[in-house]
A and B are shown apart, each in its own frame.
Chain A
Amino acid sequence: MTNDNSHDDVCNVWQEQPSAPFVMTPAELRVRMKRLGRQLLIRDVTVYGVCLLEIAVFAYMLIVFPQLMVRVGSLLVILGMAFLIAQIWLDRRGRKLAHADAAGLGTTDSIKFYRGELARQREFHRGIWLWSRLVALFPGLLVFGLAAGVALPYPANFAGHVVVGVAALLCPLAIRLNLTRSRNYQCRINALDRIMNSQN
C-alpha cells in the first residue's frame, strides 16, 4: 500500500462504515420541534421559579424584620434578582432569535459561525454581562448577611455570618473563573481571526 493508496483506503474505510438509514418524517420533525419548545419552556419556568422564590423569601424578610439594614439588604437582593430575571430573559430571547434563524446555518460559513458562537460565549463571561450579574447578586447578600449577623438573634445572626462568608468566598472565585473563560474564548477567536485575515 503506497501513501496515496493509503489515503484512498482511509477515505474508503470511512465512507464504507455501516450506518442505519435515518430520515425523520415531517410529523416526527414537528413533534420534535414541539418537544424542544416544551423543554425550553420547562427550563425557563424552573429558572424563573427559583428567582421568584428567592424574591418571595426576601420580600417576607423585608416585611417581617424591622431592622433598617436587614430591610435594605433584602431590598437589594430583590432588586438584584429582578435584574437577573431581566438579564436571563434577554439572553433567552437572543438564543431563541438565533435558533429561529435556521437559514443562517446554511448561509453562514462555518468559520464565521464558529467565531460568532465563541464571541457570544466570551461576552457572557466578561464585560457588562459579568459585572452586572455580580452587582445584582453580591451587594444585597453582603448587606443582608452583615445586618443579620449584627442585628438579629441566634440562629439568624449565625446564618447571616454564613451568608457573608459564602458571598465573600464566591465573589472573587466567580470573577476569576469568568475572566479565565473569557480569555480562553478570546484566544480561540484570535486564532480564527488570524486565519480569516490571512485570506484577505
Chain B
Amino acid sequence: MASTSDTQDEMYREAATAYGPALDRLARAYELSVEDRRDLLQEIHLALWRSFESFDGRCSMRTWVYRVAHNAAISHVMRGRRNKSRALISLEEIEEQGGIAAKDDGNHSIERAQMLEQLYALIQHLNPLDRQIILLYLEGMDAAAIGEVSGVSSSYTATKIHRIKAILADRFRKGGTHDQR
C-alpha cells in the first residue's frame, strides 16, 4: 500500500507534468525578472506539493492546482507589494484609459512576440483578482471554471471576460486589419 507521502509525491508529479507550462506562464505574468520568476515558480511548486497532503478530490485537480498556484502568487505579490509604489488597477480602469500604452502602437504587423509583450504589460498592471481572471481566460477556461477557482460568480466572470475581449480586440485591432488583407 502506498504511503501518504508517496501519494502526495505522485499527485504532485502528475499535476506538475500536466500544468507545469501553465504554472510557468502564471509565474511570468506575476514576475518579469527571471530571478523573481524562478523564486515564485519554486514557491508555487512547493505550495502545490504541500497542499496534496490534504487533497480530498472534492474539486477537480485542475481547480485545486490553479487555486493553490494563484493563492501562492497572491501571497507572493502581497509580500512584495509593501516595497512597490505602483498602484494596481482593474480591467474597467484600463478600459477607461484606452489600454496600457503599448511600446509599438504605430506598427501594423503585430508579431506574436509583440502581442505577448503587450499582454504581459496589460496583465502586470491588473489587481490580483482581475489578473487571475484574465490568466485563466488565456489558459482557455470558461466562466464557470474560472468562477470555481476564484470564488466569484459565473455572471461576474462572464462580464469580466467580455471586458477582456473588448480590451484585447481594441489592442490588437491593427494586427487584425493587417491579417485581413
A105 and B152 contacting across the interface, CB-CB below 8 Å: no
A117–B45 CA distance with the chains assembled, in angstroms: 20
Q: Counting CB contacts under 8 A, is B4 at the interface?
A: no
Residue in A1, A2, A22, A199 whose beta carbon sits within 8 Å of that of B152 in the complex: A199
A197 to chain B, nearest CB (A): 11
Residue of A nearest to B55 (CB): A106
A105 and B67 contacting across the interface, CB-CB below 8 Å: yes
A102 and B51 contacting across the interface, CB-CB below 8 Å: yes
Residues of B within 8 A of A63 (CB): none
Residue in A3, A22, A198, A199 whose beta carbon sits within 8 Å of that of B176 in the complex: A3
A118–B81 CA distance with the chains assembled, in angstroms: 11
A9–B180 CA distance with the chains assembled, in angstroms: 14
Kindly supply a per-residue 1/0 record for chain B positions 148-176, scoring 1 wherever the CB is within 8 Å of any chain A CB and 0 otherwise.
01111100100000000100110010011
A105 and B112 contacting across the interface, CB-CB below 8 Å: no
B20 and A110 contacting across the interface, CB-CB below 8 Å: no
Q: Counting CB contacts under 8 A, is B143 at the interface?
A: no
From 35 to 60 in chain A, residues with beta carbon under 8 angstroms from any chain B beta carbon are 36
Residue in A14, A103, A114 whose beta carbon sits within 8 Å of that of B54 in the complex: A103
A108 and B67 contacting across the interface, CB-CB below 8 Å: yes
From 86 to 143 in chain A, residues with beta carbon under 8 angstroms from any chain B beta carbon are 102-103, 105-114, 117-118, 121
A22 and B20 contacting across the interface, CB-CB below 8 Å: yes
User: Which of A26-34, A65-73, A149-157, A159-167 lies at the interface with chain B?
Assistant: A26-34
Residue in A11, A106, A196 whose beta carbon sits within 8 Å of that of B64 in the complex: A106
Between A105, A121, A188, the greatest number of chain B beta carbons within 10 A of the residue's beta carbon is seen for A105
A24 and B45 contacting across the interface, CB-CB below 8 Å: yes
Residue of A nearest to B155 (CB): A199
A23–B48 CA distance with the chains assembled, in angstroms: 11
A185 to chain B, nearest CB (A): 10
Residues of A within 8 A of B144 (CB): none
B179 and A1 contacting across the interface, CB-CB below 8 Å: yes
A124–B132 CA distance with the chains assembled, in angstroms: 26
A114 and B153 contacting across the interface, CB-CB below 8 Å: no
Between A10, A112, A117, A192, the greatest number of chain B beta carbons within 10 A of the residue's beta carbon is seen for A10
Also in contact, A108 and B138, with CB within 8 A (given A21-B20, A22-B20): no
B151 and A109 contacting across the interface, CB-CB below 8 Å: yes
A189–B119 CA distance with the chains assembled, in angstroms: 27
Also in contact, A111 and B51, with CB within 8 A (given A29-B45, A33-B46, A195-B156): no
Q: Counting CB contacts under 8 A, is B13 at the interface?
A: yes
From 17 to 32 in chain B, residues with beta carbon under 8 angstroms from any chain A beta carbon are 17, 20-21, 23-25, 28
B70 and A15 contacting across the interface, CB-CB below 8 Å: no
Which of B's residues lie within 8 Å of A, judged by CB? 5, 9, 12-13, 16-17, 20-21, 23-25, 28, 41-42, 45-47, 49-51, 53-55, 59, 64, 67-68, 70-72, 74-75, 78, 82, 112, 115-116, 119, 127-129, 132, 137-140, 149-153, 156, 165, 168-169, 172, 175-176, 179-180
Q: List 29 A-B contacts (CB under 8 A).
A: A1-B175, A1-B179, A7-B169, A13-B115, A14-B25, A15-B138, A17-B21, A19-B21, A19-B25, A20-B24, A21-B17, A22-B45, A23-B20, A24-B16, A26-B5, A29-B12, A29-B49, A36-B46, A102-B47, A105-B68, A105-B72, A106-B68, A110-B74, A110-B150, A111-B150, A111-B152, A121-B82, A198-B156, A199-B152
